């Protein structure tokens, strides 16, 4: 039974990744550091931090997704996500920040699913392309999408 659930979750992860872009709301406290709150896949409901180096950024995020052991789709107790990402920004110079609005993103993500009796790890590599939309020099949101490789 557990192998069917594992297979179903892996298929769901790949399908959901194709149809649901990640969106983040960010605020820049300094010119180089960025704090973000977001919801997406595979990051779940997350809080993150990015640091800018020229037209690149490195970031980490921590996410959580509640489960319901009695449901069909999310039949785990909870899921925890830990991500590390590298962003390379390109495109035309934007109006507000000094980062170009378009970016390519690669990362390493670890999902931990709590089944009650054990915790099951999933390691995956997301590859994405996205864009920042800025409201002001210190606020905006990002949308990105791409493919996910389960390791």
Residues 6+ apart with CB under 8 A from 29: 35, 138
Q: What is the pLDDT of residues 3-35, one digit of tens each?
A: 556 655 665 555 555 444 455 555 554 568 888
Looking at residue 94, the DSSP 8-state letter turns out to be P
pLDDT (0 to 100) of residue 84: 96
pLDDT (0 to 100) of residue 62: 96
- In whole angstroms, what is the distance from residue 136 CA to residue 44 CA? 26
- Rounded mean pLDDT of the chain? 83
Q: What is the pLDDT of residues 57-74, one digit of tens each?
A: 999 999 999 988 888 777
Top pLDDT among 7 and 145 is at 145
Tokens of 24: 């983040």
Query: Mean pLDDT lowest for which of 11-15, 103-107, 117-121, 141-145?
Result: 11-15
Q: What is the pTM of this model?
A: 0.78
- In whole angstroms, what is the distance from residue 101 CA to residue 146 CA? 17
Element containing residue 14 per DSSP (H, E): helix 2-19
The mean pLDDT of 94-100, rounded to a whole number, is 79
pLDDT (0 to 100) of residue 41: 82
């Amino acid at each position: 039974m557990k192998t069917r659930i594992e297979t179903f979750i892996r298929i769901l992860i790949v399908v959901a990744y194709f149809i649901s872009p990640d969106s983040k709301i960010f605020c820049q406290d300094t010119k180089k550091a960025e704090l973000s709150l977001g919801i997406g896949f595979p990051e779940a409901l997350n809080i993150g931090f990015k640091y800018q180096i020229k037209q690149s950024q490195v970031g980490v995020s921590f996410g959580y997704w509640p489960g319901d052991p009695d449901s069909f789709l999310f039949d785990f107790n909870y899921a925890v996500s830990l991500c590390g990402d590298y962003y390379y920004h390109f495109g035309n110079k934007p109006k507000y920040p000094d980062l170009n609005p378009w970016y390519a993103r690669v990362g390493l993500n670890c999902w931990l699913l709590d089944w009650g009796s054990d915790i099951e790890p999933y390691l995956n590599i997301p590859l994405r392309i996205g864009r920042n939309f800025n409201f002001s020099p210190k606020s905006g949101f990002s949308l990105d999408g791409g493919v996910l490789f389960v390791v």
